[in-house]
Amino acid sequence: MIKLYADTIPNLRRDIIKNVTAALEEDVGSGDITAQLIPAEQLAKAEVITREDCIFCGKDWVEETFRQLDPEVTITWHIDDGGKAAADSVLFELQGRARSLLTGERTALNFVQLLSGTATTARQYADLVKDLPIKILDTRKTIPGLRSAQKYAVACGGCHNHRLGLYDAFLIKENHIAAAGSIAQAIKKARELAPGKPVEVEVETLDELDRAIAAGAEIIMLDEMELTEINQHLQGRGLTSHLELSGGLNISQLETQRAVLENISRISVGALTKHCKAVDLSMRVIASFD
């Protein structure tokens, strides 16, 4: 695991173990009956390839899969998390008991295909703004049980993590504001409850934007607002808050918005984890021996 990425996700190692344990219980259950067709001590060597260009992610999930199944399986890596793999290239090789390789194949590849798909999507978005002072962030729209895994993959792809859950940052939305009485009151209460936590406010109008700025929100999320109008509204004003663009943006929409992103420092994109396409992978046994 690349330390730079791992440090962005607290308790990632704990979550990897939980992910793999659950996946093996789901797939293997009481035992792999097809693998029992093969002699127990027969050895084999296999390689895993990608059928398409991708940004690789999932190394620790593969290692944990075979650690839990059979610690004697050896893995030879040809790529690290965050690395770019060309179509038809070998990602890693496995050697050990044939039964173990075949039993662990689907679990290991399921993690890699999902996480590499997430990392590949993230790299596409990151490349789009690489010449701009803007961070592309993920959201909480993740597969249940795999949030830390997908957020790790987002970081491997070159994008950034928004809050991990409801516990590590405030995101004050319309209903919170209504219940608290006002934007200013909601921000004041948030700072009293947890002084060290970031405070973000979602706004839908220019009036709400002004109120959030006046209340000193660190981050203001613009929910499907017109950027040209916002730029005109803010012209000549010093801005201390970070403005975050949100609202279901995809790559083509973001490309058309580039010219009006002058006040934007953050863009949150649910598609990084919600709409990612799994990478096409294949494992093939290349040798079998006693």
Give 234-247 pLDDT, tens digit per residue: 998 888 899 999 87
DSSP letter string over 22-85?
Answer: HHHHHHHTT--TTGGGS-TT-EEEEEEEESS-EE---HHHHHHHHHHH-TT-EEEES--TT-EE
Q: Which domains does the chain have, with CATH numbers?
A: 3-124+276-289 (3.90.1170.20), 160-268 (3.20.20.70)
Residue 224 has a pLDDT of 84
Dihedral sign (CA 143, 60, 155, 124): negative
Q: Which residues are catalytic?
A: 106, 141, 173, 202, 223
pLDDT digits (tens, 9 = 90+) for 1-58: 444 455 668 899 999 999 999 999 999 999 999 999 999 999 999 999 999 999 999 9
